[in-house]
Structure 1
Amino acid sequence: MVKKDALLEYLRKYPGWHTSQELAVMLGVSNRTVKTYVQQLKQEGCEIVSGTKGYSLHNTDMLHDHEKNCVPRTSKERVNFIINFFVKNSSAVNLYDLSEKLFVSESAILQDFKKVQSKIKPFGLELQRNGDFWSLVGNESQKRHLLSSLIYSESAGSFNNQDIIQKNFPQIDVDKLKKIILEESSKENIYLNTFDVNNILLHFVIAIDRINQGHEINNGSVDFDFKNNKLGLQIVDRVADEFNIQFSVLDRYELALIIQGALNNKADFAENISSETRALVMDLIDYVWKNYEINLDIASFKKFFSMHLDRLITRSRQQKSNYNPIAKNIKFYSPTIYECAVIIAHRITTKAKIRIDDNEIAYIAMHVGNAIAEQISDRQKLAVAIMIPKYYNNAAVLSNKLQGLEASYINIKDIIYDPNQIKKLGNKIDLLISVDSDYVDSKISTVSISQFLLANDIQALNVAITTKQHQIKKDHFQEKLLRFFDSKNFVVSDDLKTIDQVFELVTNNFVQQGVVDESFINLLFQRESMSSTAFGRVAIPHSLNMSAKKSSGFIIINSHGIKWSGGNEVFLIIALAIDPNNKQLFREVFDELSNVVTDINNVTKLINCKNYSEFIVKLVDLL
């Protein structure tokens, strides 16, 4: 995406005021460049308001109206338009005709062609020139994969992209197609999740649209198992009948294979899981526990993850991958869970000898997240004591009510009836709930409520719980930061411009300090090869295995940006080295750090820090 377009998209996605520095950090450009982009967008008709608070986009309805216009305006829109135009036109396209159609100069179209070339190259396609005429060269299967990728990118970040599919193919009844898929699956007692349904829908509408335009898949071969693809063929044949369309033999088999690959809850599917997959799942559970003390030995996880892993291995060995429209969101908003998924993915690649991309890692994260969310929640619960005057069973009644309302946030450790009993609680209580009393303890956070637990009582309790949780988190975070980071490992420099320079500096310093050995740099690159450690404009590099001699961290700031893996540019690097005895420390520090730095406003404040002390104070304050 062109950075000017990215600026417009950001202002549109996040209504309100944004400072020029925040926008500069988000885009990876200077404040002056942000002002230039704003002026250009204003000249193009975008109502961006400037003020003392920064910039804000007004009248976003105009943008939605623009989207309905068939003529693209931005470079990104033109590139996608050109790709679709070439795919739909079998004959060569004249450069000057396309220039007139899009109301831009020939030189602008030629620049767009360069971007088109880079987008279509991964699909085995290319633009070829013959004088003023250009053609898209490649087979039908490659063109369909390209189309699906464009639509997937349009739906990125969305759970349900059915509306986007319908918008792109208005002539096809997507609801009717979905009904056929779900009805046929239901007959076989098979459950398809949202991702599966949308994936199947997209492949069907592309196939139907292309066949209606006279484009069939007639090249290549398919290794087809009729016995295990019965449902897939049933759905394909019913679609062919109700949509009055003739699928070629290869089209029919390809669609049936896509359907079969999405099945994840057939009654006998678990019984057909390979012995390789079963053994690998148990190995992963053991590996994650030994190395990270995360318990995945849960029946539901083993059942559903085994089915997912079996299909993942099959897909990978067939050099296929499932697109995950919320992969970036999972990585950005649930970094700890995503990191656990990366560790699992690396173990799978080592054991099964396959490659796993970010889309597949995100699916693993969804399984892991469901399994460990409750464990994470339990660690964050407050230990609570209730002090209540003894009268019949009023203590038990209130305790049951509290457990029902606040079970996700508190563990009731004790019930006492007199302030003199507080001493016996020791230091094991985070919050004292004082019932029908004005008593406030000087050493324990206290909240006063009535035994009837009215609306104002619940409100007061929620405020007290939130305040105490935040205070505990900040206190623990500061303590861990001071244990983890040292002033000598804090660098502000514009000279460090690449990931290689950063890893070399960090490794050399850690080696001199006796933190790691020389192989640490290879471990950093190994982790980076699985999935970029960048979160927005911040990177938190570390090794996959906790093999450091002692735990330490290294902070680097470059306000002009550092080129990172995955095409990212970051301004802040927080490198971590962890020894085997600090597994819990890593999870806690990584979790809190990522929670802070995923907010671009926090990053803006942190990269303005001039020294170690200022940085640590600011980091804790931002939690």
Structure 2
Amino acid sequence: MPEQSKRLIQLLENEGPMSIKRASAKLQVSERSIRNYMRQANAKSTQILTDHSKIWVQERKPASLDFSRALPQNYRERSSYIIKKKIIEKEEVDLFDLSETLYVSYSTLKNDIAKMNQEFHAFQVHFRLKKDKLVIFGEERQIRKLISHVLAQETATHIIDMETLLNNYDKNLVHIIQQEIEQIVVHPALSKNDLAKMNLILHLVIISTRCQENGGCANDALALVFRTEKEKQWFGQLIDHLQTRLAITYAKEDLEQIQVLLAGNLNFRASEPSFEMDQKNIRFTSQILDLLEKRFHVDLNREEVKELFLRHLHNLNIRAQTGGFIKNPMKESIRQISPTIYEMAIVMAVEYKKYFQVLLPEDEIAFFAIHISSWIDQSNALNQKLKTLLVCPAYLNFQSDLLQTLSTRFADELYIPHVASSEQSGMDDGYDLVVSTIPLSTVSSQKVISLSPIWTPYTQQALSEKILKIKERKKGEMIRNHFFEYFQEPFFSVVRKTSKEALLHQMCARFNEKEIVASDFEKSVLEREKACSTAFGGFAIPHPLVSSARETKVSVALCPEGVLWNNDQKVYAVFLLAINEVDKRVFLNVYEPLVSLLSDEEFMTRLSAQTDFHAFSSLLIHKIK
């Protein structure tokens, strides 16, 4: 085989599937030369395959790259396709070429780009066309947020639902595991977090299925170390019930992995892992996380997932040595539902081969995809919690006991990635809250709360109040930061005598004129209003049934004389909401404190008396804490 063809094969093996254009740039030859190299390689033995978008070495072709199987059919799918193609795959996006590939008109794609600029405005990322080629402007951290949003549609919440498990595994086994977890493990991390529950169920299904297929394996006397008595109790009951009902015996490695699963999904953390980590596995994990974050522009939740993945890696290496790879019946659904996640898993498998000299089958690659999905989902979920630093001396188990208490009682509010035993300079950098059992001199008083290491009802109340205060302050900052994005003078008015219907029609028309909403916006607003009034005392916040606006905007109408809203109920201010789906989560943090402010009758009276947008906005911003 010619040397040039070998270079091309080596490139594809090292970096995975890519376009001919990218391969030509990498090898610094023409695209015609790349095609010649492919023909020369395939004349000897079929090694390189292609479709209209990518080329790949045959043994590594991901199903996700067979774009002809399911081309994007609407704006939502096309925008996701374009973003991933440009940012993740780093390909040049030419609108004329793209129109031929996707079988849509050039003008349709131009409209899509315009919509993307409106829809993704909150990410501070801008899309422009230069000589019909797409260019993206924005800071790296903002681009990462955008990609995380796009990939959220392909994460574990879509892979690991009960329907998928029931379709791919023994239904009786799945139901038994679900029942036992829900009956035995009573913990807020599972009762309030479907992702944690499904993650635990999924891995228990995989472990138990593998144990059934292997005929069971008697475990040696195993002395597991538990962080809490409650965790030990849950673990013991769960194992006893599952082994009895499923007629299996878990092996030692299974029991260790189940312990890690239980501890990880219940937010029990330890300063040291429960098993000895192999340094080679640690280095590989760090390298692969660096590579995925760099190549796919995502942020992964490193601290929370490392021990579970290292356990998976440890068992995978054993399977690789013995050739005892396990089947993954979900691989096809994962490939279909989560193509980009699966591509990330393929990159991971390529790196695994280079690092451990083992070629993984697709079943094992699909397990990588499950882990990656979980990392992305958990990373997104952490954005909703207060990043917290615990400062507590490691004395008489106070540190571990307090960490466990915080992780259990405040599972939905706090994310505690690190624990410190003493004060260090700059230790509050990047943290929303610092919980300390010792006096601190270098931490902002706004962030720190001093607690006794001995938990009492007073401690619980004090911390709850501190968390609420910090969240309110963060919401206030968010409102101030986003206020003039959502509230703008063209959508402000002061009205005199009018009716509810006429006022809503006028406010909706203003949105329509600026192409903020679709033509059926007013109809949806009226349907929502008919179903249940949106009036709150002296004000109303009408909105449509679904969040489908091109941009998030609030139209404000102040009515000093009042507008009859429902029978004899008058409102003196109307806030009509047009919410973009992307902004929905951010806007909720603006909406709740807004309702709280407007519920103050004295403030509402002052606000409705304002005569221009400047006075209205100044008063509202000043009132925000």
Output the TM-score relative to the length of structure 2. Answer: 0.35
Output the TM-score relative to the length of structure 1. Answer: 0.36
